[in-house]
Amino acid sequence: MRILLLDHLPLGSSPGGEETARLARGLRHLAHEVACLIADERQSGEEEEFPVHRVLFHRDAPAADLPFALPAFATDSPGVPTFFDLSDRQIAAYREVMRRHLDDEVIARDPQIIHAQYVWLLGHLALETGVPYVLSARGPELQAYRQDRRWQRFADEAVAGAGKILAADEHIERELRELFPHASERIALLAPADGAHDQWIVRIAAIYEAVLRERFGS
């Protein structure tokens, strides 16, 4: 399969980003074609194991794609905004720039399936591409959904169009079913990789295949 992974975090700076990198490596090991589109604060100076398209955030760098610091759900670092801190104009700019880069990747890679991390803005942008997609829910975005109504439409529509929504643990699975009862049959528990890493990758690849069969038939 040709697979495009989306994440609003750098690949090596957080557990979530590291999980996306592990997923990309594992899928490549199974001979799938994998590329990533991520948000980051800088370009990598190292040779990549797989294609990585970075959308750059920086308030001072002229070459940045967006002129504000990379947002997070929560932060203790001064000057780093949370998604709650973003103005409506910044959210619109975030969506527009990420959409443009995602469109470029879809044209260049022609993915058969997209896997977006978090039930979030990138999942909504995946919906807009028309490519079948899977979402992974990690938890912080569900709290944001409850706290800030600006995010609710994006999450609702992303869930409605997703082939599968994967919950990282049982608590997140219950919360997903509470927030999105209409999508209950497409919500599945799939914990992050642990010692059974190979089995985790095989299960995710099987989910992709099932989503494609559901969309296009055998």
Tens digit of pLDDT for each residue in 149-191? 999 999 999 999 999 999 999 999 999 999 999 999 999 999 7
pLDDT tens, position by position, 69-87:
899 888 766 677 889 999 9
* Per-residue pLDDT at 81: 85
Which pLDDT does position 218 carry in this prediction? Answer: 67
Residue 189 phi, psi (nearest 5):
-85, 125
Count of C-beta atoms within a 10 Å radius of residue 168: 17
Residue 47 confidence (pLDDT): 66
Tens digits of per-residue pLDDT, 15-38? 778 889 999 999 999 999 999 999
Q: CB of 133 within 8 A of CB of 113? A: yes
Amino acid 170: pLDDT: 95
Instruction: Sketch out the chain's domains with CATH numbers.
Output: 2-216 (3.40.50.2000)
In the predicted model, what is the mean pLDDT of residues 125-151? 95
Alpha helix (H) residue ranges in the chain: 15-29, 88-109, 121-129, 140-147, 152-161, 170-179, 197-216
Please state, in angstroms and rounded to a whole number, the distance separating the CA atoms of residues 51 and 32: 13
Q: Is the pLDDT of residue 65 over 90?
A: yes
Q: For the whole model, what pTM was predicted?
A: 0.93
Looking at per-residue pLDDT, the higher value among 75 and 68 belongs to 68
